[in-house]
A and B are shown apart, each in its own frame.
Chain A
Amino acid sequence: MKKIFLLISIFISSVFAEVDGHLDIVKKGMVLPKIGISIASDSLERDTLSKIKKALTDDFNVSGHFEVANISSVSAYDSLPDILGLSNQGVNLFVNLSAKKDTNGNYTLMTKLYDINSRALVLEKNYTTSLEERFVFLAHKAAISINDHFKAPSISWMDRFVVFSVYEASGKADIMIGDYTLTYKKRVVSGGLNIFPKWADKEQKTIYYTSYNYKKPTLVKLNIYNRSKDVIMDSDGMLACSDVNADGTKLLITASPTGQPDIFLYDTRTRAKKQITTYSGIDVGGQFVENDSKIVFVSDRLGNPNIFAQTIGSSGVERLVFHSNNNSSVTSSGNNVIFSSKDASNELGKSFNLYLISTKSDSLKRLTSSGINQFPKFSTDGQSVLFLKTDGTSSIGIIRLEHNKSFLFPLTGKRIQSIDW
């Protein structure tokens, strides 16, 4: 039995080993392990479990590492599944789900993973939350564990929070956190206009955001767990934290102390700020690239918004994008840059698409094909992109760069102002 399991592991590892982290690689004809998900017949917590099953299905699909099989097979949690029936359907892996609640309100998701070919239980794991409303994170954790069990490329980003600002009314916006599908949402800042949230640390305990509840637009650092606040700086006109570097020691901030929007580098240890751009028009949206030695940003210095690069400490500016005349937002990860491009130059052209480029090459890759696609943000590993799509309805999108696939999760409710992952 161990030999058969070893063979499956080697098979799966060899499939994933082909994904080498280079963004342009697109796998075609790759055979993925087929996984079936079922709720145990003797489980009592069926409502939330149904939602968990759906979330787990989405996670496996988004991972790009499994093919989710549509199965009807059910079995009790402590029984062996219908191995023969599942095998006949070509299923390689089977996940049986159950759940329990204790008297303290803790909700526990129980999972058993079977290797159908080896007829063996290969992974049994429970996941507990004190708040049942956070059930979707149990699904994300289970997906990550099963993915890790087969040593597939990490999908640990699924477990992270996104932080976003939502317009509540004219001149009012609240800040919320949620999971990457926005199935779970929780308000963390409310009242007045609160915009441009960014995670301040890897642990996702603190955020930066711009508050209009002071005399001037003010950049605030907030610990969302103990509510401690630190006012970083203020500015007439506008203020936005555009990027936080990997270790949280440097920020790129768009500020306008003299009524002129320019990009500043802020050192969180010394609280010193240094002006990087000095153009008399619009310079915004600075993003660190090439180990924080350089920034990419949006500027209208050629008459329309476009993407430029500048080495920190130098005044020379280089145009980075020669596609379209209206590219007004940019995000980066390492040397990779994604920008949002408006295909028509007037307000009636309703198509914004996302494009991937590198600061080290001339490559240009289109990532979306229709609709309004905005707010691109790289995952922490740089291999996935979160974005918002508006095409009649609004959806949150995930692009899996290595797999050349994208997924949409419909959004209901209010308009999102800005999002960070």
Chain B
Amino acid sequence: MSVRSTVLALPTLLRIGFADAVAYRAEMIVWTLSATMPLIMLALWLAVASEAPMGRLGQPELIAYFLATFVVRQLTASWVCWKINTEVRDGTLAMRLLRPVHPLVAYGAENLAAIPLRGILSLPAAIVALALVGTTPLPRDPVLWILWAFSMVGAWLITLLANFAIGCLALFLESSIKLMDVWFTLFLVFSGYLIPVELFPPLVRTIGDWLPFRYQLGLPVEIMTSAHDRASALTLVGQQWAIVVLHLGFTAFVWRRGLGRFAAYGG
């Protein structure tokens, strides 16, 4: 499982992942559509803001915020937890272990390869956003765009690693889908998916700053909609990457301990 063999295998893995995404494109469209919650929340918040803006957020800012949420969620999605659960149950994880590539890399490549298609599917939301509110909410500073790129990669990594770690718990618990449900519920509340984080009462905001969820979604959206200047964006991206490192450590630990318990049924 050397670095060299991994790098050599990567293009093939990406190609397989892309073929997989294209093969089930109808399914992908349904998945994309089922992430319409930001659009429903947008309708709600527009009704709320019709009398007066909520803090900094008036109607145009809210349109920009929730359409950006939709796009960022599409681009940083991961479904590895469900996949590992299936593969632990039916024993196909054993096949992955035979390959000279770390399963985390293989799963990651699969998610990464679906991004172009998901990008195309979320394009309409971006176009509607630009048509409705123009480019005013977007930051003008190129440094902020660089930080945004880092925050996107960080958000994707946290989602992938959390999925992988919780998926690995299936090796101890038989099924960890329920735990993923808990994680997802917390994500819905604290990530900024339903409510922009800045609208939370101060106490809840402080709690949210210490949890990983905001860094999975809210942070890139906030940077994209000019909620931060250079300094605060840099601090937050720094915190985000600290969380990425923590997740990496925890994931490696769970994986190593869990693998010892892997016994494929009938395998």
Chain A bound to chain B: no
